[in-house]
Chains A and B, each alone.
Chain A
Amino acid sequence: QVQLQESGPGLVKPSETLSLTCTVSGDSVSSTIYYWSWIRQPPGKGLEWIGYRYYSGSTHYNPSLKSRLTISIDTSKNQFSLELNSVTAADTAVYYCAREGHGGHDFGYWGQGILVTVSP
């Protein structure tokens, strides 16, 4: 069974870089079939797609975040990561990692989410 688990600091200062890691079990991030994604949800609001990456290196990012965003894969640890720089309070959210489902361009498996607060 595929499981994903987010980890990282719960508090980041404005203008700094938000860094999160998703550890995958039950599947391999080296899979050439699925993409690996990040999605966030500000408190009390809806879901916002951040971006995804294939093992091959192909990435697609939300155009509104693209200039600040990097998603990378570490096959040795079976993890993928998110880096979002120059954060502001607007980046405060629960961040989820997810894996594509069987339908393509959907999200069949989700992590439990991690709340990241941007505050001095």
Chain B
Amino acid sequence: DIVMTQSPDSLAVSLGERATINCKSSQSILYSSNSKNYLAWYQQKPGQPPKLLIYWASTRESGVPDRFSGSGSGTDFTLTISSLQAEDVAVYYCHQYYNGPFTFGPGTKVDIK
């Protein structure tokens, strides 16, 4: 199974400042035939299902603010919130959908400092 790890477990950032979350997979999730990394980022707020922010490691889902960006390839990935807003307080998960069993990182809780 592909194990997903995230760091940090939690972080507190001032409004308008940058938040960076790291995600690592235990093996490459780069699909050679199409050069796509099968890595997604989700935002989850209490009582709600996860919301897809980024797929293919760096493709922003339609309607997602451009302050959210994803980067990385192979086994190392990053979600960046360039200017944290109050509505961004949530738990963020990375997720590999390269190979079953599909697995998630443990989550990173983002709060306002």
The answer to whether A and B come from one shared complex is no
